[in-house]
Structure 1
Amino acid sequence: MEKYSIKVDEYIDKSPDFAQPVLIYLREIIHEACPDAEEAIKWKFPTFMYKGKILCSITSFKHYCSLGFWLHQEMKTLKEIETTAEKSSMFSLGKITKMEDLPSKLQLKKAIKEAMELTDMGVTMKKAAPSKTEMEVPEYFHDALHANAKALDVFEKASPSFRKEYITWITEAKTEATRNKRMEQALEWIAEGKGRNWKYERK
């Protein structure tokens, strides 16, 4: 890994025009607040590593982009940001469509610093135990979801059947390459609120 990855440059260049300045800004703030951050592409999205652990990731879609923190469940600063971001969850900056949607630089840096402190303390992500009627989420898919704030938000609020369809589809892949391809597609569809078989659902 390296401080600045050309793959992240390519990801930003391929992002929608509205998202590029937001992603560039977030990238700069992350490196400014965390000089030791190293870039990588994980589950198709730019991810920032700190001391070998995932710190946060930035994502862009057709109509919005966002920033997600790995240890969001433990972060107090995100609850403060929640009040300033429309329709934001406690671990995401919500749907960012322009620079004005972003919290202040001070708030962003405070959140990044808190994420670093939690990592330094050895805090790990809590994994909820599945209920008897729920299928267990495989660890690799669990990690991928937590690197994509929007997809995780939708997945956690969705019905058991919604989750089961995706888990079954991914776990039934015959090869790792197929599994990874399905997982990337699943993250995109879930983030958009689409069920596994959305193409065949009645409109």
Structure 2
Amino acid sequence: MNPKVDFFFEKDSKWQEAYGHLRKLVLECGLTETLKWGVPCYTYPSGKTGKPANVVLIHGFKEYCALLFHKGALLKDTDSLLIQQTENVQAARQIRFTSTQEISDNLPVLKAYIYQAIEVEKAGLEVKLKKTKEFDMPEEFKEYLDQNPDLKKAFEHLTPGRQRGYLLHFAQPKQSKTKVSRIEKAIPRIFDGLGLND
């Protein structure tokens, strides 16, 4: 157990008891506990680099708490438990819980998923992610880029992850005027080399 992570398990939350069960379960599988993105994250040395690689994390939402497998797309979902949060999530998959009992009732199955995720890391496997150019570019944003070469250049200088973030953000609304509004708000950030959430 990593003392830097204790606050997460000690804070009052509707999932506090479930979090404790998940922590015990994951640590029994031989993973190293660390804190990333403000939540407990568990790592294992990558067979590719030897450096600690993210295997699974524990997080919670209003309706459920979950184990999130960073390379869940590579796991065999033998018990049909893995959930893709949204259609745009490429690698990660969740196993969701709405009670502590669900965790207790499924311990051997959950351990099997965790051990499978460790084997994925040992083997150095990677999820083949879609390239940024494979994401749809909203017509409204394409027009802005065509009309403003400096904006096009600034967008192309962003990291692929930041580009994808903007493309997904601009594509979400159904109405064109909402897309345009999002684009106009984002332009100064793009020129500053910042991503959507930087």
* Counterparts of 1:44 and 1:132, CA distance in 2: 31
* Counterparts of 1:55 and 1:141, CA distance in 2: 23
- Alpha-carbon contact 1:15-1:60 (below 8 Å) kept: no
Residue 15 of structure 2 aligns to which amino acid in structure 1? A
Q: By how many angstroms is 1:140 displaced?
A: 6.1
- Relative to the length of structure 2, the TM-score reads 0.61
- Alpha-carbon contact 2:27-2:33 (below 8 Å) kept: no
* Counterparts of 2:42 and 2:64, CA distance in 1: 20
1:110 aligns with 112
Q: By how many angstroms is 1:81 displaced?
A: 4.0
2:128 aligns with 126
Summarize the alignment of residues 73-112 of structure 1 with structure 2, pairs less than 5 Å apart.
73-76=73-76, 78-82=77-81, 88-89=83-84, 91-94=93-96, 96-102=97-103, 104-112=106-114
**Secondary structure class of the residue paired with 2:67:** strand
1:42 aligns with 36
Residue 98 of structure 1 aligns to which amino acid in structure 2? S
**Structure 1 residues 23 and 47 mapped into 2: Cα distance closer, same or farther (>3 Å)?**
same
Structure 2 regions of 5+ residues with no counterpart? Answer: 46-51, 86-92, 142-154, 174-178
* Structure with max Cα Rg: 2
2:152 aligns with none
**Secondary structure class of the residue paired with 2:66:** strand
Q: By how many angstroms is 1:105 displaced?
A: 0.8
Aligned length: 153
2:4 aligns with 7
**Structure 1 residues 53 and 13 mapped into 2: Cα distance closer, same or farther (>3 Å)?**
same
Q: By how many angstroms is 1:127 displaced?
A: 1.3
Runs of 4+ in 1 over 2 A off after TM superposition: 61-64, 88-91, 100-103, 129-132, 134-142, 158-162, 171-176
* Counterparts of 1:139 and 1:22, CA distance in 2: 36
- Alpha-carbon contact 2:58-2:67 (below 8 Å) kept: yes
Residue 97 of structure 1 aligns to which amino acid in structure 2? T
**Secondary structure class of the residue paired with 1:80:** coil
Residue 45 of structure 1 aligns to which amino acid in structure 2? V
1:161 aligns with 172
Residue 26 of structure 1 aligns to which amino acid in structure 2? L
The reply to whether residue 19 of structure 1 matches residue 6 of structure 2 is no
1:66 aligns with 66
1:201 aligns with none
Residue 12 of structure 1 aligns to which amino acid in structure 2? F
- Alpha-carbon contact 1:45-1:58 (below 8 Å) kept: yes
- Relative to the length of structure 1, the TM-score reads 0.60
State percent identity of aligned pairs.
20
**Structure 1 residues 132 and 80 mapped into 2: Cα distance closer, same or farther (>3 Å)?**
same
State the Cα RMSD in Å. 3.8
